[in-house]
Amino acid sequence: MRIVAPEHASELADRLIAAFGVDRVSLEQGLVRVLDASYGAVILVLRAVERWLDEDAVPSAELWLGDNSYTLARSTPVESWQ
């Protein structure tokens, strides 16, 4: 898995290292890689990225699983939808 995170990438990498270990996570120029693509790992990464987006006020990040990319955006409170 790859997460394109130009802002605050080191904070995201730190969170993922805590979950997967330093030998399974790498950071290079705004790109965080996780060397585990199992179903459980994907769920853990998604949860960590969602928390990171909200807590660090990062608007969005691009997550790559193989050749497929997904954009994850920070959650928006219901009140602001109106």
pLDDT score recorded for residue 23: 95
Residues with Cβ within 8 Å of residue 36, at least 6 apart in sequence: 1, 20, 24
Output Rg (C-alpha) for the chain, integer angstroms.
Answer: 13
The pLDDT, as a whole number, for residue 45 is 94
Q: What is the pLDDT of residue 11?
A: 93
Band (82; pLDDT cuts 50, 70, 90): low
Q: State pLDDT tens for residues 15-69.
A: 999 999 999 999 999 999 999 878 899 999 999 999 999 988 889 999 999 999 9
Whether the model pTM is above 0.85: no
- What is residue 47's predicted lDDT score, i.e. its pLDDT? 93
In sequence order, the 6+-apart residues with CB closer than 8 A to the CB of 69 are: 62, 63
